[in-house]
Amino acid sequence: MSHLIQKLATFLSMIMALAPPCLSSMTTGSGYLYPQFYDRSCPRAQEIVKSVVSNAVAREARMAASLLRLHFHDCFVKGCDGSLLLDSTGRIVSEKRSNPNRNSARGFEVIDEIKSALEKECPHTVSCADILALAARDSTVLAGGPSWEVPLGRRDSRGASLSGSNNDIPAPNNTFETILTKFKRQGLDLVDMVALSGSHTIGNARCTSFRQRLYNQTGNGKPDTTLDPSYAAQLRGRCPRSGGDQNLFFLDYVTPVHFDNSYFKNLLAYKGLLSSDQVLVTKSRESMALVKEYAGSNQLFFEQFAKSMVKMGSISPLTGSKGEVRKSCRKVNSY
C-alpha cells in the first residue's frame, strides 16, 4: 500500500511540474501566460534575448526606448500578438504604415537579430510576440528601470490592422478623456495609464508631434498656456513653424536616457514635452495626484510600472493552438 501511495505522489508531483504555476501566471481570455513557458522547450531563450538587447542598447542608448515602445504599440492593436512586426504583402497592410508608427517606430532589426538567434537555438519555438515582451523588460532594466517576471506563451497573429493602429494607439495631441478611453478599451485603468506614461522618461519625440503646442495649441495662433514659457522658447529654436518635422527632442530633458521618475517632476514644472503628457497634470485631479506620488517616490513608480507592464503585456494574447509561431517576425509562415 505504501508503495502505491508513493507512486501516486510521484505521479501527482510530475503533473504539478507540468502545470503553469498559479502564483506567477496571468489568466487571459485565451489561456495561460507564465514565466516558465520556455524552461523546457528553450531554456536559454531569455538569456539570448537579453544578450542581443544589451548589445543593441550599448551601441545606441535610444534603442531601449524604441524597443519598449514597440511592445506598447503592438499590444494596443489586436492584443500582444506581434502584428506590428509584419511587413506589407499582397494580403497584409503593415501597421508600420500607420500614423503612430510611420517614420518613428524603430528597432525592427534588433527583433530580427533576436529571432534569428532563437531560431538557431530552438527552431520554431519562441514567438515574436514574446520576444517583444522580453525585449521591453530588458530595455527598461538596461536603462536603469525596474525588472519584472514576464509571463510568456503568446503566439503570433497571421494578420495586421492598419485601422486599429491608427485608431487605438494614444496620440500626442489626444485629449485626456480620449487617451483614458483608449486605455480602458484595453482593460487598463487610470493608474496604468499614468504609470505607463512614465515610460516617456526615456526616448525622443519628433518636432511634428508637439509643434502645435508652440504655435497654435487651440487654433487661435497662440502657444499652449500649460507649457513653461522658457522651455517653449528652447524648443522653438529647433522646432520652427514649418520644416524640421523629423528633428528629435528628448521626452525627458533632465535624464533623457535614464529610466527614473524625473518625467513626473517635469510635468509638475509644466515641462512635459507632449500635450498627452502634460494633460496628466492639467485635466484630472486623480491623475495629478498619481503624478505627485510618482514624482515623490521613484520606488512607488517602479513598482506600479512593473505591475502595469505585466497587465498590458497580457492584452488579448493568442495562446494554445491559436495563431502561430513565426519563423520570421516580418512575415507569416507559408504552409
| Catalytically active residues, by annotation | 73
Q: Is 100 annotated as a binding residue?
A: no
Q: How far, in Å, CA of 260 to CA of 305, rounded?
A: 11
**Cα separation values, 310 from 167, 204, 248, 272, 321, Å:** 23, 24, 29, 26, 22
For the record, the C-alpha cell of 209 comes out as 508631434
Q: Is 218 annotated as a binding residue?
A: no
DSSP state of 200: G
Through-space distance between the first and last CA atoms of the chain, rounded to whole angstroms: 53
For the record, the C-alpha cell of 195 comes out as 504609470
Q: How far, in Å, CA of 217 to CA of 211, rounded?
A: 8
Q: Is 255 annotated as a binding residue?
A: yes
Indicate if the alpha-carbon torsion angle 110, 116, 118, 124 is positive or negative.
Answer: positive
Indicate if the alpha-carbon torsion angle 24, 108, 70, 203 is positive or negative.
Answer: positive
Q: Is 83 annotated as a binding residue?
A: yes
Q: Is 172 annotated as a binding residue?
A: no
Amino acid letter, 293: E
Q: Is 252 annotated as a binding residue?
A: yes
**317 touches 33 (CB < 8 A):** yes
Q: How far, in Å, CA of 175 to CA of 198, rounded?
A: 17
Q: Which residues pair with 328 in a beta bridge?
A: 331
By 3-state DSSP, what share of the chain in percent is helix, strand and coil, each rounded to 5? 50, 5, 45
Q: Is 149 annotated as a binding residue?
A: no
Q: Is 170 annotated as a binding residue?
A: yes
Q: Which residues participate in the annotated binding site?
A: 74, 77, 79, 81, 83, 95, 170, 200-201, 252, 255, 260
Q: Which residues participate in the annotated binding site for Ca(2+)?
A: 74, 77, 79, 81, 83, 95, 201, 252, 255, 260
Q: Which residues participate in the annotated binding site for heme b?
A: 200
Q: Which residues participate in the annotated binding site for substrate?
A: 170
